[in-house]
Amino acid sequence: MNREFLKHLAGTEESKAVIGIPGWAQQLMDGDVQNNYTVPNVYSNCPALYRAVQLRANALASVPYVIRRGTTEVPWPFPQELPKLLYEMETSLMLNGAAYVLKQQPNTGGNRTVGLQWLNPFTVQVKYSAGVTTVEQYVQGRRYGPWPIERLLYMREFSITDDVGPGLAPARVALTAAGLRVNINDFASAFFQGGAQPMTLLTIDGNPAPTEVERTERFFKRTVTGLRNAFRVLALRHSVKVEAVTPPLNSMAMPELAEHTLREIASAFGIPLTLLESNAANYATAYNETRNFYEQTIAPRLMNYASAINSQLLKPFGLQCEFVPEMLSVFQEDEAQRSGSLLTLVQAGVPLHSAMEMLGYDPEYVNGVNEYPDTREYTNGNAEQSADLNQKKKLRQLRKTRSGLVAPIS
């Protein structure tokens, strides 16, 4: 604004303009804004965050797996089911950044693991002292432990600021966006509970008596406290001017804010937006988004789980866990196409092991045995039989080379 105009408007150079700043803006400028939301609180009040956590946990728990002793398939050795354990661990990692599963030992003594108990991560503390890491749990004022870290199946998210204890959980990354969604819902709920009336300023003309002012105030307070009072009538002897202080709802960009926060939550959890919203335009879009979710988010995650389970839990038993996400229905179309491609290549004269290499299979060695030698005898009448035989074996044994989801016991 022109300085001469200010002098003309104010009448003096020393005059200063007074600008009213909203309280929330002043707090933001002063750095006094406090985020009172916690992850458990927001998880309980933000449907989008809740759905994101459930999508991650359910997707991971639904992946098929195989337990092996050498080349022999064996059952899961503990009474607690692995899918349920995976669900609890993934939920813990998403919300707290760490997962803790206590290895239960016989009451009669000994170090043998006979069962598994998931621990609520928000009740667990990890302590590091003199090169030793221990874990304690606090439930309703009682302490359990301490246990050495070797007594637990323990996983944590990566953290750039801390090497001990919980890492950076996706829910904490999305906490601001999820908190904003809670604020939007709280505001809308309070607005309509109050009769859909904005914050108002009352101006009474003249010099009314104090009783008249109080009577007017009481009336307007009752009017804006609920829909049942929205149509009451008050007779006054003075003119009352009502001015809205809060802006109209249609000027607050509520839909845009809701869309923005949903995108932030989806990004933090690695979930396609259409999958989080469940509003894919068609089946093809839904299929592609679901497949991308499993390939880009769940499959890499399975490598971490396989490594932790094998090294921390199954190694003393001589067992190994393999995840086989290719057996999920979302990948079956691709597997059928690969099997058909294998048959086509073999019938066209391509050596079997070369065709398998082209399609991402390991053509030579399974557990150190050359089960698929290079030969051209399959290019004629035996091609279909050979492809069928190989399909049955490869779908479970050879996928590990392509997917990289097997973590060998170290």
On the question of a cis peptide bond just before residue 373, with omega within 30 degrees of 0, the verdict is: no
Yes or no: say if 307 and 320 are a contact pair by the CB < 8 Å rule.
no
Q: Whole-angstrom Cα distance, residue 102 to residue 186? A: 39
More confident residue, 401 or 277: 277
- Where do the structural domains in the chain lie, given as residue ranges? 199-245, 285-403
Edge-to-edge strands, sheet with 142-148: 124-129, 132-139, 142-148
Q: Could you read off the pLDDT of 25-77 as tens digits, one per residue?
A: 455 455 544 456 889 999 999 999 999 999 999 999 999 999 999 989 999 99
Q: What does the pLDDT read at residue 204?
A: 65
d(CA 126, CA 140): 18
In 188-286, DSSP assigns E strands to 200-204, 240-244
Top pLDDT among 326 and 323 is at 323
Q: What is the pLDDT of residue 327?
A: 83
Determine contact, residues 261/177, Cβ cutoff 8 Å: yes
pTM exceeds cut of 0.85: no
Distance (Å, whole) CA 142 – CA 350 = 68
Q: Are the C-beta atoms of residues 358 and 345 closer than 8 Å to each other?
A: yes
- The identity of residue 56, as a single letter, is R
The residue that leads in pLDDT, 334 or 214, is 214
Flag whether pLDDT at 265 surpasses 80. Answer: yes
pLDDT band at 120 (very low <50, low <70, confident <90, very high): very high
pLDDT category at 123 given cuts 50, 70, 90 is very high
Q: In this structure, are residues 238 and 204 in contact, taking their beta carbons and an 8 Å threshold?
A: yes
Q: According to the model, what pLDDT value does residue 289 have?
A: 83
Count the Cβ atoms, other than its own, within 10 Å of residue 256.
9
Question: Residue 200 phi/psi, 5° resolution?
Answer: -125, 155
Average pLDDT of every residue of the chain: 75
* 3-class secondary structure, 321: strand
pLDDT confidence of residue 342: 74
- From the number of C-beta atoms within 10 Å of its C-beta (0-12, 13-18, 19+), residue 26 rates as exposed
- pLDDT higher than 80, residue 98: yes
Beta bridge partners, 142, equal 139
- Judge whether 143 and 230 are in contact, CB under 8 Å: no
Which stretches does DSSP call E strand in 72-224? 72-74, 98-104, 115-119, 124-129, 132-139, 142-148, 152-156, 200-204
